[in-house]
Amino acid sequence: MTSRFLLTERLPSKIAALGFCLCAFVTTGSLALQTDSTIRPVEHASVIDTRANEPIRILSMRIPFSISPISGRHQLSFDAHFGNTWNPSGVLEYPKAEEPYPDKAWEAQFHPLYADDPQRYQFYSVDGVIRSGTLTYTRKIRDFSEIYSAINFNVLVDGNSWIDAPVKDKTIEMFHRLLLGQSDPFRRHENGFNRTEMKFTDRDGRTYEVMPNRPFAGTYDIGYRYFKKLVARSSVLWSLNFGLQVGIPLSRARQHLSGGLIGGTSVTKQFNRTYGITCALGLVMQNDKLLAVRREYHDMNYANIVSGYRILLGQNFYFRSGQRFTIGIEMQGATAPLSRRQRVTAPYLTPEDIGVQSSYAPEQWTLDRQINITNQRRAARSLIRGSEFLSLNFSYRFGKSDCPPTVTLYFQEDWTILYDTDGTTLPLFALSNNTQDFGAGIKFSKAF
């Protein structure tokens, strides 16, 4: 524990996953380059335009990612997303300015009882699978500009249904066992599977709870996008994209609507008639407290400003009949909604340590059983750090028509290489544990 940055336990599996993805890109690209050299019109690769199902972010504005205008005058899309979340019993503590600040959060000795100082603490507990459905309508108003609106609804379930099989706890632990050679390295079995719990308690003691198997609303988003071609040649397309968005919260957990700016650039090289590759970068900056739309019911102490990024490496494979198959790798990250510039720590204690009852049994560190800084002891740190995800998506565009339908299948894994054990700094994207462990989804789009 003497090093400031430590490798996480899942690093080997993540490096293997990234290596596999990159090898697949190199192999498929090399094969495609061996085809005929007749160049077709340049098109950017498809993007999944979706965000991970993070329990706190899901109640605020989503961050869309689009690099090309729609092909028709209108477009409808539906995204069905399944995200496994497992962050039991997280605690955030707001010490007073005059108190000593320890170099290492776990060395702090002074933690008054919650009953004596409730405004000192925030609590957070989530376990289960969040299913989300997002319906988006896009309207082209000029050749390179469009407006859109999106609404999403969610439901918290235990993840035992067949439809949740790709993201259920048993599936994740099976991969941990196969890739890491460890049984239950993150104590899922020990803490019990699928408690189906999602609770937030603010510093005034008010609790917001999502009930299992009961749909709850996320946000209603409206926005504007503009695309500009900088270079448009027979084999190269370079463009810029710019967007404005406002997100209206539909649940009592949020008091303010959010507003943000989204910008990016994309470059596509068309090597021959059947193969092209796209690289894209997107950045977002948004105000999560733009305007109060209801009286405060629950104060999660959100940050005012949240930033994020998206990076895409995509390959397009074209067929004579007009179909297109896209393989894409995306990295996405964002600062956590609670990454405020104030004295806040995520101490390694459980709610029971300060007199608050929780459905999770606290872990005890002993010489015989040395607990790594994972699960509940590291979970809360995600709330004041950033979250990053690696996505692998497969997209297929059907038919020869001008507005063919497109189906995309995608998988998301939290990408954690290093984490800050001291908690004394808050960089833009500190790589810490994420609040969605693994996600999967399918998206259908049709322009007309």
- Residue 286 inside a domain? The answer is yes
Contact 247, 58 (CB under 8 A): no
- Domain of residue 440: give its range: 5-359+378-447
pLDDT digits (tens, 9 = 90+) for 163-172: 999 998 888 8
Mean pLDDT of all residues in 420-448: 66
CATH number of the structural domain spanning residue 291: 2.40.160.40
Burial of residue 162, with CB atoms counted within 10 A of its CB: 0-12 exposed, 13-18 middle, 19 or more buried: exposed
At 341 the pLDDT is 56
Matching residue, tokens 């290492």: 104
pLDDT digits (tens, 9 = 90+) for 121-142: 888 888 889 999 999 999 999 9
Whether 58 shows a pLDDT value over 50: the answer reads yes
pLDDT digits (tens, 9 = 90+) for 364-383: 555 665 555 444 445 555 66
- Residue 369 inside a domain? The answer is no
Distance CA 434, CA 386 (A): 8
The total number of structural domains that make up the chain = 1
* Greater model confidence, 149 or 93: 149
At 419 the pLDDT is 44
Identify the weakest region by mean pLDDT among 130-144, 230-244, 285-299.
Answer: 285-299
- Residue 125 inside a domain? The answer is yes
Distance CA 371, CA 377 (A): 10
- Residue 373 inside a domain? The answer is no
Residues 6+ apart with CB under 8 A from 334: 57, 63, 284, 306, 307, 308, 309, 386, 387
At 251 the pLDDT is 85
pLDDT band at residue 418 under the 50/70/90 scheme: very low
Contact 270, 42 (CB under 8 A): yes
* Mean pLDDT over the full length of the chain: 78
- Residue 262 inside a domain? The answer is yes
Whether 406 shows a pLDDT value over 50: the answer reads yes
Mean pLDDT of all residues in 309-331: 91
Identify the weakest region by mean pLDDT among 29-38, 175-184, 235-244.
Answer: 29-38
- Tokens standing for 355? 């007199």
Distance CA 51, CA 78 (A): 14
Whether 143 shows a pLDDT value over 70: the answer reads yes
At 365 the pLDDT is 55
At 428 the pLDDT is 37
- Residue 411 inside a domain? The answer is yes
- Residue 89 inside a domain? The answer is yes
Mean pLDDT of all residues in 174-199: 72
Distance CA 46, CA 442 (A): 14
- Residue 61 inside a domain? The answer is yes
